[in-house]
Amino acid sequence: MYNIYNSGRIQGVKINMTEYATLIIEGKEYKLPVICGSEGEKAIDIRSLRQQTGYITIDPGFANTGSCKSAITFMDGERGILRYRGIPIEQLAEHSSFVETAYLLIEGKLPTQTQLTRTSVYLNDFSLLHEDMRSFYQNFPSKAHPMGILSAMVNAMRSFYPEFSDEDREFNKTFLRLISKVRTMSAIAYKISRGHRPVYPRPDYSYCANFLHMMFDNPVIPYRLDRDFEQALNVFWILHADHEQNCSTATVRVVGSGRVNVYAAISAGISALWGPLHGGANQAVIKMLEQIRDDKLTIPQAIARAKDRNDPFRLMGFGHRVYKTYDPRAKIMKKMCDLVLSKKRCKDSLLDIAVELEQAGMADHYFQDKGLYPNVDFYAGIMLRAMGIPTNMFTVMFAIGRLPGWLAQWKENSTDPEQKISRPRQIYTGNNVMDYIPMDQRHA
């Protein structure tokens, strides 16, 4: 039994977490159901709150608000847990492939060998891009950001390819087209930005191997696939495949609640992911390392500046909004990062700074006490740079990995009978009613 007393007109809240919550407002008592999830999370169901009381809740950033019930991903920030459909992320990173993980997220179960093979065949079959779509790339400005291009191109796919249908219920072909073609479109955007001709995928390569092939192969220097790089990319995409109701996933659900086509919803998710506080965080890590290099800061100086609240300098890639302990994805990403760095043949001052910064940050008591450990974005940014991925492609790499999660969330949301069109309320703080003032009576 809990008693929480608040200021204002709400006199008190008494909660019995096993049955219902009793809310007392202005002396009147209201009973609200308590919902319990499969992992023990508890939520007060306030769907009838405004109708019963005339009150709404306010929660900027929705940190304490559940927008849906979901059976896709479970995460516990206090204990550092992340699971897809119940399977720990550590097991998927060690044993699974990105394609198999995508199937798991969307279909809710691991595929049989026949199902996995069929899925891989479809991904290869759908990897080519309509020639009319390829011509769109020529009309983007040369300095257009790849995320803006990708968002626009995904939205344009609706005009070229069929929408969701009931013809093939097993891993719908619309989803497979998106997963396959987003990879192709991303590689083409990079090639065209370099003034190179696009490279077509190879039927004998895996999903991850084909992306590296389409990115880096050219007629002068054929790309030699490194299997460790392929595995590192595979793990990177598995770790980013879903992460509960984050900004971009919530965007996909909100836009999808209007019953728009899946291409439009995914395009919106890509735009949401673009922000530096979300998918752009790995890119921000590289910019921070460049600042340390360009300002000729020593690592102790950089850490001292980061501790100073009056200094705008921040250590990007340390800490996480949800994880209050070590990010479980970061432990796995660090192994892949170390693997790729061990194969790096040429000198890179930024990578040297990153390694020294990681060691110093992990040993610093200030960061330890505040739980500011390197997160997945820190190691991801370093690893992608070491693999030769340009910085402006980092968020695109994130988007490719997150696509299966977006599709799974869109599918779950669109088939949930409890879901309605998203329409948040607000607390109005503007002027009260006032008369219109004629032009000749207005004062500056």
Just list the catalytic residues.
Answer: 320, 377
Asked if 399 and 280 touch (Cβ cutoff 8 Å), the reply is: no
For 48, 352, 421, the CA distances from 386, given in Å and listed in that order, are: 53, 11, 43
How far apart (Å, rounded) are the C-alpha atoms in residues 12 and 23?
A: 7
Q: Which residues in 398-433 are b (16+ Cβ under 10 Å) and which e?
A: bbbbbbbbbbbbbbbbeeeeebeebeeeeeeeeeee
Which among 323, 261, 241, 391 has a CA at the least distance from the CA of 75? Answer: 323
Beta partners for 31?
22
φ, ψ for residue 191 (rounded to 5)? -60, -45
Structural contact between residues 233 and 212, judged by C-beta atoms closer than 8 angstroms: yes
- 377 vs 149, 193, 278, 288, CA distance in Å? 23, 25, 10, 12
CA dist., res. 333 & res. 93, Å (int): 9
Local structure of 351: helix, strand or coil = helix
Q: How many C-beta atoms surround the C-beta of residue 128 within 10 A? A: 13
Helix (H) or strand (E) holding 338: helix 328-342
Measuring CA to CA, how many Å separate 190 from each of 151, 225, 298, 341, 393? 14, 18, 34, 23, 8
Round to whole Å and give the CA distance between 51 and 425.
13
Helix axes 376-386, 281-294, angle to 10 degrees: 70
User: What's the helix, strand, coil split of the chain in %, to 5?
Assistant: 50, 10, 40
